[in-house]
């Protein structure tokens, strides 16, 4: 762990349930590592495979959108529109948070928690990274996870178990004396939560049936057999009326998994002897929890560096803040009243005298 000249207390990570191998807090362009390499799916990599052995990512958070990259290239060095506030990697899971530079001073109470759910229920080839932070007076939690893979009987229950363990074991210990004695300690205690990643939920259909629905672009019928959608529906039926539960935007794009290398063809179409056939599924998802979050878009990308297709989402978030100018004006008005009262003559013979 290293701190990059930031005027904030070093977070104390609860290592009883966490698998932490690197975390960076910073706000400089140099904090982003352009040489970071991403792994492919779990069908390609073994439990201990390093992400350094696979294809290099051709774009970064600073250049994945053309207009944004052009705008940034015209800015003087050190005057970027966005800055890095947190970055964490655990084996093949990577989560990074960037904010607009003019909001950097409003970000506080930054903490990171990792939960390993790989081999023996502990190693970090599966699991989650969670970053907790406050923007003004609103708490946010970003969760990136890679859940148990597979489409055999019982694999869906293992994924559900991963989710429950991540919710149970993720902890953000409070650091007393820092002004955040009531900060959230679990994922669900945050005001706004966004959960993303390779959730690995599959389509409960045969390859042939799912492929036919994909060719017809019949997303409705496919989603009726989507494990993640059915599991959330069952969870909603068990929730109390006061719980809003997890939400996901409407899906209007093809399944994101599994593609042949560097192609637009689903794996198994040509029955290549070395190619594993997998039923097309929406493994890659973005969910949110809590009020005050509004999804503006939910689409997939067409990058071919993996056997998955990435998904993107844009949200609008409500944030509670303090109007400092109004407070200063109110304090100035209060001081003026006190000074005016001090100039008034002292009252005699009255038990109470009110001027306002």
pLDDT given for residue 74 in this prediction: 57
* pLDDT, mean of residues 7-11: 42
Q: What is the pLDDT of residue 272?
A: 66
Q: How many CB atoms lie within 10 A of CB 172?
A: 28
CATH 3.60.10.10 describes domain 2-317: yes
Average pLDDT along the chain: 76
For the chain, give every domain's residue range. Answer: 2-317
Cα→Cα distances 290→140, 153, 156, Å: 10, 32, 25
Q: What is the pLDDT averaged over residues 54-59?
A: 29
CA distance 4 to 26: 5
pLDDT tens digits, one per residue of 219-259: 999 999 999 987 776 665 554 333 358 999 999 999 999 99
pLDDT of residue 269: 75
In this prediction, residue 324 has a pLDDT band, given cuts at 50, 70 and 90, of low
Residue 178 has pLDDT above 80, yes or no: no
Residue 341 clears pLDDT 70, i.e. is over it? no
pLDDT of 131 higher than 70: yes
Q: What is the pLDDT of residues 10-32, one digit of tens each?
A: 444 333 334 444 455 554 443 33
Share of the chain above pLDDT 90, in %: 53
Assess whether pLDDT exceeds 50 at residue 40: no
**Contact present, 84 and 31 (Cβ < 8 Å):** yes
Residue 38's pLDDT band (cuts 50, 70, 90): very low
Q: List the structure tokens of 178.
A: 């820092």
Number of residues that make up the chain: 356
The whole-angstrom separation of Cα 267 and Cα 307 is 8
Give per-residue pLDDT as tens, 297-308. Answer: 999 999 998 999
**Phi-psi label, residue 207: left if phi above 0, alpha if psi -120 to 50, beta otherwise:** alpha
Cis peptide before 258 (omega within 30 of 0): yes
């Amino acid at each position: 762990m290293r701190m990059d000249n930031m005027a904030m207390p070093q977070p104390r990570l609860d290592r009883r349930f966490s698998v932490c191998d690197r975390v960076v807090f910073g706000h400089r362009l140099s904090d982003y590592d352009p040489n970071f390499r991403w792994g492919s799916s779990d069908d390609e990599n073994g439990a201990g495979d390093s992400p350094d052995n696979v294809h290099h990512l051709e774009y970064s958070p600073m250049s994945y959108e053309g207009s944004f990259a052009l705008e940034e290239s015209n800015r003087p060095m050190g005057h970027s529109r966005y800055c890095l506030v947190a970055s964490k990697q655990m084996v093949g899971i990577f989560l990074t948070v960037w904010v607009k530079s003019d909001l950097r001073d409003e970000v506080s109470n930054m903490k990171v928690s990792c939960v390993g759910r790989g081999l023996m229920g502990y190693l970090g080839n599966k699991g989650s990274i969670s970053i907790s932070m406050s923007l003004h007076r609103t708490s946010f939690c970003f969760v990136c996870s890679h859940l148990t893979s597979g489409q055999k009987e019982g694999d869906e229950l293992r994924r559900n178990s991963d989710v429950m363990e991540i919710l149970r074991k993720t902890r953000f210990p409070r650091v007393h004396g820092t002004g955040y004695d009531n900060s959230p300690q679990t994922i669900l205690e945050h005001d706004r939560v966004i959960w993303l990643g390779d959730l690995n939920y599959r389509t409960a259909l045969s390859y042939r049936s799912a492929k036919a629905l994909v060719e017809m672009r019949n997303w409705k019928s496919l989603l009726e057999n989507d494990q993640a959608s059915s599991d959330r529906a069952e969870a909603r039926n068990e929730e109390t009326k006061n719980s809003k539960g997890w939400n996901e935007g409407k899906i209007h794009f093809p399944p994101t998994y599994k593609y042949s290398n560097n192609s637009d063809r689903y794996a198994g179409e040509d029955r290549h002897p070395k190619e594993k056939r997998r039923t097309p599924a929406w493994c890659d998802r973005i969910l949110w929890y809590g009020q005050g979050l509004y999804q503006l878009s939910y689409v997939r990308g067409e990058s071919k560096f993996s056997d998955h297709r990435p998904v993107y989402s844009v949200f609008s978030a409500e944030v509670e803040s303090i109007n400092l100018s109004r407070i200063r004006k109110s304090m100035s008005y209060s001081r003026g009243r006190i000074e005016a009262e001090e100039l008034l003559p002292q009252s005699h013979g009255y038990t109470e005298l009110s001027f306002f």
